[in-house]
Amino acid sequence: MATVFEFKIEVALGAVPAIEDQLAEREEQHLMVIEDKASGRAWLTGYFETRVVAQASWEGFAPLMDPEWLATEPVISELADKDWKESYKEHFKAWQFGPLHWVPVWERETFRLPEGDQVLWLDPGMAFGTGNHETTRLVVERLVKLATEKGVGGRVIDAGCGSGILALSAIKLGYLRVAAFDNDPLAVDVSRDNAALNGLVGRVEFYVGDLVTGLAGRQAELLLANIQADVLMRYAPELVGSVAPHGTLVLSGILASELALVRDTFVTQAGGWQVDSRVMGEWSDLVLIRP
């Protein structure tokens, strides 16, 4: 990619939760919020292949923004390949949970992996799936613990795979049967690129689908869905129906304030299932285990 176009507008730090909620509601793949709490500043930003697409993305999202949330006028800047890479590095830092590390590919030459650990190299591209957000961390931490506690012999489905981080993490943890889908073809392409970065081509079945077509005729011992509360609730029957006996459903993308409603919806669909949840910052997960 020779050039990309960066969209950026400064927003009020206090408005970040509300903006993230709107991003989740729209299933927005190409805009994200970046915070610098030390300076008390935050920005809504995104990277696009053309200026026209960047402008269209903002025009589609702008009506959802309260004018009081906006601190500046939006700016769309053309970035050369070098500038794009340097800019994106600001948004993605290496992180770890248990024996698994998620590391940007541009740190490949300098990163030192502790003996016995595993690393997943990531180039999130314009899908923004770095794992740095609490919603992804909640699922990843569950995934690591489940692999340790229940073993890695079951089937895994990642519904709404984004950059592929959850599906590829499952492979790194030792799962052998992993499928992942997204309704955005770009996200599926980025997921496949990340598989190639890690020498995992063909190890995950990546495909385009939604929560109806993507799950049709499939069941898994571990079903992961990091999407958003209203979509999860709308497709609760499909999600519950795709969990194999004794399997686990891990849901994320749920604001802590929405957890009770999501829990009630899924308990209604999955009566008698064991239920658990955690809160991380303003976000929560919901885990249901089928008898």
Annotated binding site for S-adenosyl-L-methionine: 136, 160, 182, 226
Residue 95 lies in a domain: no
Query: Does 127 have pLDDT greater than 50?
Result: no
Q: What is the CA radius of gyration of the chain?
A: 19
Residue 171 lies in a domain: yes
CB atoms within 10 A of CB 107: 14
pLDDT score of 1: 47
283 lies in the same domain as 198: yes
62 lies in the same domain as 154: no
Residue 24 lies in a domain: yes
**Which of 33, 55, 89 is the last residue in one of the domains?**
89
Residue 69 lies in a domain: yes
142 lies in the same domain as 222: yes
pLDDT score of 83: 61
Average pLDDT, the chain: 87
Only one residue has tokens 């996200």, namely 187
Residue 97 lies in a domain: no
**Which of 89, 123, 141 is the last residue in one of the domains?**
89
The C-alpha angle 97, 98, 99, rounded to 5 degrees, equals 110
- Mean pLDDT of the region 170-181: 95
Q: Tell me which of 79 and 170 has the higher pLDDT.
A: 170
Query: Does 120 have pLDDT greater than 90?
Result: no
Q: 234-239 long-range contacts, Cβ below 8 Å, gap at least 24?
A: 235/211, 236/265, 236/266, 236/268, 236/269, 237/269, 238/211, 238/212, 239/159, 239/211, 239/215, 239/266
Q: How confident is the model at residue 221 (pLDDT cuts 50, 70, 90)?
A: very high
140 lies in the same domain as 79: no
154 lies in the same domain as 47: no
Which domain CATH number covers 114? Answer: 3.40.50.150
> What is the spatial distance between Cα 123 and Cα 128, in angstroms, rounded to a whole number?
9
pTM (2 decimals)?
0.75
Residue 263 lies in a domain: yes
Contacts of 161 by beta carbon, 8 Å cutoff, 6+ apart: 129, 167, 180, 181, 182, 187, 188, 191, 206
Number of domains present in the structure of the chain:
2
215 lies in the same domain as 276: yes
Express each pLDDT in 80-106 by its tens digit.
665 655 665 666 677 888 888 988 887
Express each pLDDT in 12-62 by its tens digit.
988 888 888 788 777 666 788 887 766 778 899 888 888 998 899 899 899
- Quick check: 61 and 22 in contact, CB under 8 A? yes
Residue 96 lies in a domain: no
Q: Which domain holds residue 63?
A: 3-89
Residue 48 lies in a domain: yes
**Which of 26, 55, 89 is the last residue in one of the domains?**
89
58 lies in the same domain as 166: no
Which domain CATH number covers 51? Answer: 3.30.70.100
Annotated binding site: 136, 160, 182, 226
Q: 81-87 long-range contacts, Cβ below 8 Å, gap at least 24?
A: 81/1, 81/2, 81/3, 84/1, 84/3, 84/4, 84/6, 84/47, 87/6
Q: How confident is the model at residue 2 (pLDDT cuts 50, 70, 90)?
A: low
% of the chain beyond a pLDDT of 70 = 90
144 lies in the same domain as 276: yes
132 lies in the same domain as 49: no
254 lies in the same domain as 170: yes
34 lies in the same domain as 162: no
130 lies in the same domain as 263: yes
Query: Does 126 have pLDDT greater than 80?
Result: no
